[in-house]
Chain A
Amino acid sequence: NAGVTQTPKFQVLKTGQSMTLQCAQDMNHEYMSWYRQDPGMGLRLIHYSVGAGITDQGEVPNGYNVSRSTTEDFPLRLLSAAPSQTSVYFCATSKGGTGNYEQYFGPGTRLTVT
């Protein structure tokens, strides 16, 4: 099993460009999340999904869009990239259910916006 995969691994964008970060999982987990990691700030939740067709905002949703049409995929869209969105982005999944709160992470996408 591949677990959680993310593409691309690295990306450079110019301010104002748009792009989609891909996330796919073969763990059959209902819950999927996107985080960004910035130095000294840990991981902050951008958006999350509790199942196909259901998404909600996290702590830092502005400038990002998500949709979840299948259990396996959870793409993150940057609508108009800004330098403040330079970060490392992680997708994560969790099984859900009482006691199953741990999340499993992809390898990350390192994004630079110039």
Chain B
Amino acid sequence: GDSVTQMEGPVTLSEEAFLTINCTYTATGYPSLFWYVQYPGEGLQLLLKATKADDKGSNKGFEATYRKETTSFHLEKGSVQVSDSAVYFCALSDGMTTDSWGKLQFGAGTQVVVTP
């Protein structure tokens, strides 16, 4: 079945440092890929997405590129702020059937802590 693997946390960084969170996936077909962010005590918010190979999703200074050859969707940000402290989830939807449109497969999540 489909699966998502992302690097374990916590990842601790200083403000203005470069952030990378690795995400790799296993899926049949051509899945859509997502990054969600969860701030403390809140639900998940969609951060960015990519729906086909070589697509680059971007939002709020974060970027991720859909690499089919390496089955990866790594999240990057060039200069993090304290407000970026959160848990980040990589997820996929295979989209192969109408039934799959109501489900996402998530990675375990990576906690990011940014210190001043």
Q: Which A positions have Cβ atoms within 8 angstroms of B?
A: 4, 31-33, 35, 40-45, 48-50, 56, 58, 90, 92, 94, 96-108
Contacts and interface: CB of A to CB of B under 8 A. Distances in A.
Nearest to A38: B108
Contacts of A44: 106
Contacts of A4: 43
B106 A43 contact: yes
Interface of B: 4, 32, 34, 36, 42-46, 49, 51, 89, 93, 95, 98-104, 106-109
B102 A98 contact: no
Contacts, number: 73
B62 to A, nearest CB: 15
B101 A102 contact: no
7 contacts: A33-B104, A42-B106, A43-B89, A50-B102, A101-B100, A102-B46, A105-B36
Nearest to B1: A59
Given A31-B102, A41-B108, 8 more contacts: A31-B101, A44-B106, A50-B99, A90-B44, A96-B98, A96-B102, A102-B49, A103-B46
A97 B103 contact: no
B87 to A, nearest CB: 10
B103 A58 contact: yes
